Amino acid sequence: MKDVLAEANCISGLGEIAVARSQYDLARTNYEGALALYKQARDLRGEANCAKNLGFIAIARSDRETAGTFLKIALNIYQQISEAYLVGMTHRMLAKLTFDTDERESHVMAARIAFEEIRRDDLIAQLRSEFGDIS
């Protein structure tokens, strides 16, 4: 029997190698393949991480719209599996992507709340440094 999760992990790892080599087309192909396998294996964390990585590839290619789409998919899953750190970091990335002031403020506040939940004052300070007053 085929170990779908192991295959997904290997293909995702190949995506990481491709990103490190700036081979973004290959990385995207690997992450898309791994994403399908993670879905088949019902591994939510794997799905979210692949979506996040596809978002980062889109950022590297200056494709804000695609990046936002993938990061929102990742965010939704991270919220489902209660990953406060990754919820906060994904909100932070979405705040950096948007040009809409209200949306940016909403993402920054959500990131702050997630970081407070895990008592990461260092990350809250980083948010203040990047976005100003986040009371």
**Whether residues 91 and 126 fall in one domain:** yes
pLDDT digits (tens, 9 = 90+) for 39-85: 999 999 999 999 999 999 999 999 999 999 999 999 999 999 999 99
Predicted local distance difference test score (pLDDT) of residue 51? 98
Q: Is 15 exposed, middle or buried (0-12, 13-18, 19+ CB in 10 A)?
A: buried
Q: How many CB atoms lie under 10 A from the CB of residue 11?
A: 20
1 in the same domain as 52:
yes
- Closest C-alpha among 92, 60, 87, 58 to residue 74: 87
- Domain that includes residue 39, residue range: 1-63
Residue indicated by tokens 């990754």: 86
Q: What's the total number of domains in the chain? A: 2
- 123 belongs to a structural domain: yes
CA distance 14 to 120: 31
Q: What is the pLDDT of residues 74-122, one digit of tens each?
A: 999 999 999 999 999 999 999 999 999 999 999 999 999 999 999 999 9
Task: Give the predicted TM-score (pTM) of the model.
Answer: 0.91
